[in-house]
C-alpha cells in the first residue's frame, strides 16, 4: 500500500522524507476519505467540505509553483513548472467549479467558503516557504504534496468510482502525465538537494515531514 509508481534513489532526500514521515504518510494514503472516495461512497457533504477547503489550498499552491518558477536555476525547469501551472488553472479549476456545482454547494458559499484550521496552517506554511524564495524548500513542499497524492491516486485495491465528482479527483492524481510530473519533481529535488550542506538537507527533511503531517490533518479535517 505504501508503494509508489516512482523511481526514488534509496539514499536520496525524498526517501528520507518518506522514511521519517512514514507513519503520517501511510495514514494519509490509507485515510478513510481516500478509501471512501475510491470506493465511490464518500458522502456528498464530506466531499463538498473537502473541496471547499482544497480550492483555497490551490490558491496557495499556485503561488508556491509560481515562486518555484521564479526561483528555479534553469530555463528548462521554468518551462516544466509553467506547463503545470497552466494545467492547474484549466483542468483542476474546472473540476472544482463543475463538482461544487454538481454537489449542490450554493454560489455564495463557493464564493466565500469558510477557512478551516488546517487549511489556514497550510496557507501559513506555503507563504513562509514562498517568502524564503529557496528553490530546495519550495521543491520539498511540492514533492510531498504531489507524490503523496500520486500514491493514493494510484491505488487499485479500493475500487473505481463512477460519479464524475469522485472519478475526476482521482484522475487528476494518477496516470502517465501526473506520474511524469511527480517523477520530474523528485528528480529536481534530488539534483538540487545534492548541492546543499548536510545541515541544510536535515532542515529540508524536517520541513518535508511537517508537510506530510499537515496532509494527514487535511484529510482528518474532511472526515
Ligand atoms: C491538501 C492538498 N495536498 C495536495 C494536493 C495535490 N495537489 C492537493 N490538491 N491538496
pLDDT in tens, 28-61: 999 999 999 999 999 999 999 999 999 999 999 9
pLDDT in tens, 91-101: 999 999 999 99
DSSP string covering 56-79, please?
HHHHHHHHHHHHHHHH-SSHHHHH
- Sequence-distant (6+) residues with CB within 8 A of 209 are 17, 20, 21, 24
Q: State yes or no: is 215 an active-site residue.
A: yes
Residue 211, CB half-sphere, CA atoms under 13 Å: how many?
A: 28
128 is annotated as contributing to ligand binding: no
Query: How confident is the model at residue 223, as a pLDDT?
Result: 86
Q: Is the pLDDT of residue 90 over 70?
A: yes
Distances (CA, A) of 154 to 32, 72, 217: 16, 28, 21
160 is annotated as contributing to ligand binding: no
In the chain, what percentage of residues exceed pLDDT 70? 99
Of the residues 218, 221, 222, which should be mutated to test ligand 1's pocket, given the most ligand atoms within 8 Å of the CB? Answer: 218
- Grouping H, G, I as helix, E, B as strand and the rest as coil, residue 113 is coil
Q: Is the pLDDT of residue 1 over 70?
A: no
pLDDT in tens, 164-179: 999 999 999 999 999 9
Ligand 1 atom closest to the CA of 145, numbered from 1: 4
The arithmetic mean of pLDDT across residues 72-91, rounded, is: 97
The structural domains of the chain, ordered by start, are 13-222 (1.20.910.10)
d(CA 96, CA 54): 9
Query: How confident is the model at residue 4, as a pLDDT?
Result: 86
CA of 73 to the centre of ligand 1 (A): 25
Model confidence band, residue 104 (pLDDT cutoffs 50, 70, 90): very high
Ligand 1 atom closest to the CA of 122, numbered from 1: 1
Of the residues 25, 31, 51, 54, which should be mutated to test ligand 1's pocket, given the most ligand atoms within 8 Å of the CB? Answer: 54
Q: Is the pLDDT of residue 144 over 90?
A: yes
Query: How confident is the model at residue 2, as a pLDDT?
Result: 57
Query: How confident is the model at residue 3, as a pLDDT?
Result: 75
Amino acid at each position: 500500500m505504501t508503494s509508489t509508481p516512482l523511481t526514488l534513489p534509496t539514499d536520496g532526500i525524498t526517501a528520507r522524507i518518506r522514511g521519517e514521515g512514514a507513519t503520517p504518510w501511510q495514514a494519509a494514503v490509507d485515510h478513510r476519505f481516500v478509501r471512501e472516495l475510491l470506493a465511490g461512497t464518500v458522502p456528498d457533504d464530506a466531499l463538498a467540505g473537502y473541496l471547499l477547503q482544497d480550492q483555497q489550498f490551490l490558491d496557495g499552491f499556485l503561488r508556491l509553483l509560481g515562486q518555484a518558477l521564479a526561483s528555479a536555476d534553469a530555463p528548462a525547469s521554468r518551462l516544466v513548472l509553467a506547463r503545470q501551472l497552466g494545467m492547474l488553472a484549466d483542468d483542476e479549476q474546472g473540476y472544482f467549479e463543475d463538482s461544487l456545482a454538481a454537489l449542490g454547494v450554493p454560489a455564495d458559499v463557493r464564493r466565500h467558503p469558510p477557512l478551516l484550521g488546517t487549511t489556514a496552517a497550510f496557507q501559513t506554511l506555503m507563504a513562509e516557504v514562498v517568502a524564503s524564495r529557496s528553490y530546495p524548500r519550495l521543491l520539498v513542499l511540492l514533492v510531498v504534496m504531489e507524490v503523496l497524492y500520486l500514491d493514493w491516486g494510484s491505488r487499485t485495491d479500493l475500487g473505481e468510482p463512477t460519479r464524475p465528482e469522485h472519478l475526476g479527483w482521482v484522475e487528476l492524481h494518477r496516470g502517465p502525465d501526473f506520474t511524469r510530473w511527480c517523477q520530474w519533481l523528485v528528480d529536481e529535488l534530488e539534483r538540487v538537494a545534492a548541492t546543499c550542506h548536510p545541515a541544510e538537507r536535515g532542515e529540508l527533511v524536517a520541513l518535508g515531514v511537517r508537510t506530510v503531517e499537515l496532509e494527514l490533518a487535511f484529510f482528518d479535517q474532511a472526515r
